[in-house]
Structure 1
Amino acid sequence: MGEPKSGESLGTVLVAGAANLTIALAKLVAGLIGGSAAMLSEAAHSAADTVTELLLLVAVRRSGRPADRRHPFGHGKAGFFWAMMAAVATLVGGAGFSVTHGLHEISHGEELANLTPSYVVLAVSFVIEAVSFSKAYRQLRAEAVRYEVSPVRLVRLTSDTALKAVLFEDAAALVGLLVAGAGLLGSQLTGSALWDGAASVAIGLLLLVVALILIQSNLSLLIGQAAPQALETGVRAVLLAQPEVEDVVELLTMMIGPGEVLVAAKIDFRDEASAAGVEIACEEVDRRLRERFPGVRQVFLDPTPTRRRS
């Protein structure tokens, strides 16, 4: 959906990565001081997010490489692969540690110590994560205005996997910080480590959901996801508007990179159209498609008569 600006996505990823690295170290120190499973889970969460941002940097860089002889359609799908690896890192590093560590605390009931540093780190972390999220959301909103759709719809349809990952992970981080704070407060008020351990498990489950959503999204793009229905409808309208075109027999689209679309169509040209006229019409359709939809990178048109009933 639309053509992402790689520079904007790269900047969004860099901001998120720097924020996560700083936060991970602060959470680790606070977690060790207070003995909180939720804080250590949050440290693991931020550490996993830092690894995720590194992989997303690779995704943005690799997907932007130009086409070559071995890769005539470009390297756009490399971005989908590395973004999926980033989601796997969140699943294994963040969700796995948080759930297992939380269950361990629930079963063993470890006593908490000084929690003041934890509260301070949670508050500061929330502000930093909010800044990172707001940058990603501003980019999303700007693109949504450009393509005349709602931000919610755009984040569901976009093939800009780096932006989507940062948005989901920052949103999960903000929710996770609130959950961790609630767990600490519950344990402090009741004197039971159950609340802290439960918060750790909840953070792990939250990361699990986010990771699975991102994995499914990137897997779909890797195996050849079609362009959004609105774009296909627009492409079909451009094809049918060409005077020499009688009918669109079949229209196929595929996302070949972040914001990059391949269009292949079987076209029934009017019988009176000459061979030269068909060639000119194909060139005109190609030009119009690229002009109206900047994300269209490849256009293949196959003259095919409509099968008429005898």
Structure 2
Amino acid sequence: MGDKSGESLGTVLVAGAANLAIALAKLVAGLIGGSAAMLSEAAHSAADTVTELLLLVAVRRSGRPADRRHPFGHGKAGFFWAMMAAVATLVGGAGFSVTHGLHEISHGEELSNLTPSYIVLAVSFVIEGISFTKALTQLRGEAERHRVGPLRLVRITSDTALKAVLFEDAAALAGLLIAAAGLLGSQLTGSALWDGAASVAIGLLLLVVALTLIRSNLSLLIGQAAPQQTEVGIRAVLLAQPEVEDVVELLTMMIGPGEILVAAKIDFRDEASAAGVEIACEEVDRRLRECFPGVSQVFLDPTPTVRR
């Protein structure tokens, strides 16, 4: 858990530093050229910077050890702060971009020197690409450890910091291309419509990303189960124990980034003694933690199967 948190923390710090530098450069270029798309991109990067700060809080808070008041740890604090980060993207980035773009479409503003904007867009694309590559490298490493494809892992991962950085960096790269297309369209046609439309498109892109992340974090906050493939593996480990007759009920819950709570009602074989059941429970606990490093809490309840 410590190594994984450290890796996610590094990914967040790289993304945050990149977004802060990019936001300032886009703001200057946007003011010089009078481009709504560039100012929207500046708001986008500023919102992403706030997002990274909140993700930094998420990583730090979720890594705090368990205490008397929080016996299962503080993992879910990471889900909460990651959701707040998504809300910041929704309000700060998407809201500004859409409203500013619509204002330019309706009123029209004359664009001036766009050369700084093109330079900033190109440099920003390189910087965002570096940040995205780091996040993608971490994703691929985790996918190899979990033996699943990167695309599947990004859908099911409870590492909210990594997921947020991946989504936001991908949106940033797409937003840069949209802004460049808007600037070029306005420059070739002499109409601010293209620039305003690009600003609105950037806002809608951020809206989709923010709502996706909010939905994902909300699901984790209210008690999302472990991925189905993991549950199947856990059930197989339980049934492989010689003293186990059947798994009456299996419940799992993500209690933090990469942390899984397992609760199961187990029907033990009738011939198993009380001491044998205790030993079997200890063995199952050990094997589950060994096979699934994310399993941090295991509760087994001996329960006979009700036969009708």
The normalised TM-score by structure 1 is 0.98
CA distance in 1, matches of 2:94, 2:273: 62
Deviations, residues 20-58 of structure 1 (Å, cap 9, x unaligned): 000000000000000000000000000000000000000
Structure 1 stretches of 4+ moved >3 Å: none
Asked if the contact 2:254/2:260 (under 8 Å) is kept, the reply is yes
Counterpart of 2:47 in structure 1 is 48
CA distance in 1, matches of 2:179, 2:2: 37
1:145 Cα shift?
Answer: 1.3
Asked if the contact 1:80/1:161 (under 8 Å) is kept, the reply is yes
Structure 1 residues not aligned, in runs of 5+:
none
Deviations, residues 71-108 of structure 1 (Å, cap 9, x unaligned): 00000000000000000000000000000000000000
The secondary structure found in structure 2 opposite 1:105 is helix
Asked if the contact 2:47/2:89 (under 8 Å) is kept, the reply is yes
Asked if the contact 2:223/2:254 (under 8 Å) is kept, the reply is yes
Asked if the contact 2:22/2:42 (under 8 Å) is kept, the reply is yes
The secondary structure found in structure 1 opposite 2:2 is coil
Counterpart of 2:251 in structure 1 is 252
1:276 Cα shift?
Answer: 1.0
CA distance in 1, matches of 2:144, 2:272: 40
Structure 1 residues 104 and 184, CA gap change in structure 2 (3 angstroms): same
Deviations, residues 263-284 of structure 1 (Å, cap 9, x unaligned): 0000001111111111111111
Counterpart of 2:239 in structure 1 is 240
CA distance in 1, matches of 2:41, 2:78: 27
Asked if the contact 1:261/1:296 (under 8 Å) is kept, the reply is yes
1:2 Cα shift?
Answer: 13
- Percent sequence identity is 91
Asked if the contact 2:65/2:73 (under 8 Å) is kept, the reply is yes
The secondary structure found in structure 2 opposite 1:173 is helix
CA distance in 1, matches of 2:149, 2:255: 24
CA distance in 1, matches of 2:147, 2:238: 22
Asked if the contact 1:2/1:158 (under 8 Å) is kept, the reply is no
Asked if the contact 2:2/2:63 (under 8 Å) is kept, the reply is no
CA distance in 1, matches of 2:252, 2:80: 20
CA distance in 2, matches of 1:281, 1:35: 71
Asked if the contact 2:185/2:195 (under 8 Å) is kept, the reply is yes
Asked if the contact 1:53/1:86 (under 8 Å) is kept, the reply is yes
CA distance in 1, matches of 2:306, 2:85: 47
Deviations, residues 182-228 of structure 1 (Å, cap 9, x unaligned): 00000000000000000000000000000000000000000000000
Asked if the contact 1:55/1:86 (under 8 Å) is kept, the reply is yes
The normalised TM-score by structure 2 is 0.99
CA distance in 2, matches of 1:297, 1:2: 13
1:257 Cα shift?
Answer: 0.2
CA distance in 1, matches of 2:289, 2:140: 24
CA distance in 2, matches of 1:268, 1:244: 9
Q: How many residues align?
A: 308
Deviations, residues 225-276 of structure 1 (Å, cap 9, x unaligned): 0000111011000100111100000000000000000000000011111111
1:285 Cα shift?
Answer: 0.5
Structure 1 residues 2 and 250, CA gap change in structure 2 (3 angstroms): farther
CA distance in 2, matches of 1:298, 1:14: 30
